């Protein structure tokens, strides 16, 4: 198993260092790519550099998460990737990606169309809140804080940035996971016990909106299980 973590920062924060230590303790080979210009090219570069076999599990994850599963729990959940029908797995996603292409949209959340759980730190950096999107299960799209799949799945969906995306860091998760779904793989929200330090503040970034608009213009929506 391999994990690729990319960051725009020159150095590693205490959280990133702790994440690397946790993954290493779990038997995962970790590669950190610092000072990157694009998440698309970084993940592609990392995949090529890890020297993995087709069936090896490759994790792509944010640098600001903490994994609270035990080693046994973590490995057991990851084995879902080894099912030939499985595409990408992660902690949270949706069964219904609507015309707005926002996976966590509140109205569909209230309809029970989302899946998974993510923990978040509050603004004080201490209090942890539990965000329950829904029961675990199959989804069409996943949040990008933690994504895992076999190497052959990543290569099949292609990690290159779509030429119609103007931004270098945004909407990769929706692009990758919906592409896997469309190619016939089954994506799943699974019981990863993860704390995320970010609550999605980057949604306010201009490039996120531009990439979302480009995705909408290029993709028949909605995408529904």
Q: Domains of the chain (ranges plus CATH)?
A: 2-224 (3.90.550.10)
**pLDDT mean across residues, the chain:** 94
Task: Tell me the percentage of the chain whose pLDDT exceeds 70.
Answer: 96
* Helical axes 39-49 vs 172-182, angle rounded to 10°: 60
pLDDT at 121: 82
User: pTM of the prediction?
Assistant: 0.94
* R_g of the chain computed on alpha carbons: 16
pLDDT at 84 over 90: yes
- The residue with greater pLDDT, 169 or 122, is 169
pLDDT at 131: 94
- The residue with greater pLDDT, 224 or 199, is 224
Q: How far apart, in Å, do the first and last CA atoms of the chain sit?
A: 29
Model pLDDT for residues 165-179, shown as the tens digit of each residue? 999 999 999 999 999
pLDDT at 30 over 90: yes
Q: What would the mean pLDDT of 4-23 be, rounded to a whole number? A: 91
pLDDT at 123: 64
pLDDT at 125: 61
pLDDT at 12: 87
Task: Tell me the percentage of the chain whose pLDDT exceeds 90.
Answer: 88
pLDDT at 25: 98
Which H or E run contains 53? none
Model pLDDT for residues 126-159, shown as the tens digit of each residue? 778 999 999 999 999 999 999 999 999 999 999 9
Q: What would the mean pLDDT of 23-27 be, rounded to a whole number? A: 98
- The residue with greater pLDDT, 126 or 65, is 65
- The residue with greater pLDDT, 194 or 122, is 194
How many residues are listed for the chain in this entry? 225
Helix (H, G, I), strand (E, B) or coil at 195: strand
Q: Tokens 């990606």, residue?
A: 97
Q: How far is the C-alpha of 70 from the C-alpha of 87, rounded, in Å?
A: 24
Model pLDDT for residues 186-211, shown as the tens digit of each residue? 999 999 999 998 755 555 578 899 99
pLDDT at 19: 97
pLDDT at 77 over 70: yes
Which H or E run contains 152? helix 151-157
């Amino acid at each position: 198993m391999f994990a690729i973590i990319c960051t725009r920062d020159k150095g590693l924060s205490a959280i990133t260092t702790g994440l690397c230590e946790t993954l290493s303790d779990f038997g995962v080979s970790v590669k950190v790519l610092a000072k990157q210009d694009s998440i698309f090219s970084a993940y592609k570069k990392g995949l090529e550099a890890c020297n993995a076999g087709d069936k090896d599990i490759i994790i792509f994850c944010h640098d600001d998460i903490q994994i609270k599963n035990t080693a046994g729990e973590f490995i057991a959940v990851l084995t879902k990737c080894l099912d030939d029908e499985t595409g990408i797995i992660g902690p949270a996603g949706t069964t219904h990606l609507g015309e707005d292409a926002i996976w966590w949209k509140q109205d569909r959340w209230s309809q029970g169309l989302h899946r998974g759980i993510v923990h978040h730190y509050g603004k004080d950096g201490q209090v942890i809140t539990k965000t329950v999107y829904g029961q675990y299960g199959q989804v069409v799209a996943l949040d990008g804080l933690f994504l895992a799949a076999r190497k052959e799945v990543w290569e099949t969906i292609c990690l290159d940035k779509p030429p119609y995306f103007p931004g270098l860091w945004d909407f990769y998760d929706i692009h990758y996971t919906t592409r896997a779904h469309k190619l016939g793989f089954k994506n799943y929200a699974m019981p990863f016990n993860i704390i995320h330090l970010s609550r999605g503040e980057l949604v306010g970034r201009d490039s996120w909106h531009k990439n979302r608009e480009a995705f909408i213009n290029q993709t028949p929506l909605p995408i529904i299980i």
